[in-house]
Amino acid sequence: MRHLLAAALALVATVVVAAQSVTRTPWGDPDLQGIWPSGGLITVPFERPTAFGTRALLTEKEYADRAAELQQQAEDDATPISTGTAPSVNPPSHWLEAGRASRQASLIVDPPDGRLPPMTDDGKRRAAAWPSTNPTVGYARAQDFNIYDRCVTRGVLGSSFPNIYNSGLEIHQAPGLIVLRYEMIHETRIIPIDARPHLASGIRSYMGDARGRWDGQTLVIETTNFNGKTGSYGRNGNGNPTSEALRLTERFTRRGTDTLDYSVTVDDPRTWARPWTVAFPLTRDPDYVMYEYACHEGNYAIANILRAFRAAER
């Protein structure tokens, strides 16, 4: 019994020391500030391959194979004149996130098989109707394209998930506020953590209305009041539209000096039969540079596609 008591006390002491070691802001909140890019996780599949079943981590051999593939990819990308074939041929390596080997089998961690849950009938209908850049579709005006093609926004999910470029997340804090600045489409969310209520349900937006609170060392952000016009599939928010019923619950937990665990639970009963969760670790990188995402300025696709359709009509 004395041994059990000593072990319990030692565990409590470890937890207390860990809690005390978390860096805090001058006003006492856990300090999450810094730049936390996620692009290194571009190698992790969004949905888990079905062969894995409920296995969430790679074996040692699978991990070694993934590391070898990334090394070969880096060598192919660095070649001035590529002699490879797809998919090993990429733009110059400085264009894209290189990625790093990860033991994580998928970004989706719940359901347990790491795959999206079934869609509702309404969700299937809206997914099938999701507009995309398709040469077989006649576009009469720019508004016929989806918000992804028009560089309007990627939504919260598309801004947060690892992507092939511009995957930086910068966190700022002030008393009663958390600021999340995304490199993707340069979105910024200013989130109160002072227990104020959400906006009235009639006020809706692409990024929703976020409210934060502290649960011990974890920042919990609940976001509602979405307009149902953003996507959710994959990494960039292009596809599988959400609905106005969407509710996101995000969690940020500092695990060490340069490690931050992130998760987001997607609850949209109009679109999916059950909620689903994405989770991945973030590593702070003080040398990472947040670049302007000049999507509108470089978006020649919309004008050129419309011009081509007008020429075809003539």
| Confidence at residue 19, expressed as pLDDT on a 0 to 100 scale | 46
pTM over 0.95: no
If you average pLDDT over residues 240-253, what whole number do you get?
A: 96
Q: Take residue 75 and report the two structure tokens written for it.
A: 């060598």
If you average pLDDT over residues 241-261, what whole number do you get?
A: 95
Query: C-alpha distances in angstroms, 184 versus 116, 153, 233, 296?
Result: 23, 9, 16, 12
CA distance 290 to 169: 8
CA distance 268 to 146: 20
| Confidence at residue 199, expressed as pLDDT on a 0 to 100 scale | 96
Q: 68 CB contacts (<8 Å, ≥6 apart)?
A: none
CA distance 269 to 124: 12
Confidence of residue 11 (pLDDT cuts 50, 70, 90): very low
If you average pLDDT over residues 295-304, what whole number do you get?
A: 86
pLDDT in tens, 85-113: 555 555 565 566 778 889 999 999 999 99
Please determine, for residue 234, whether its predicted confidence score (pLDDT) is greater than 80.
no
Confidence of residue 158 (pLDDT cuts 50, 70, 90): very high
Minimum mean pLDDT among 84-88, 108-112, 207-211, 276-280: which range?
A: 84-88
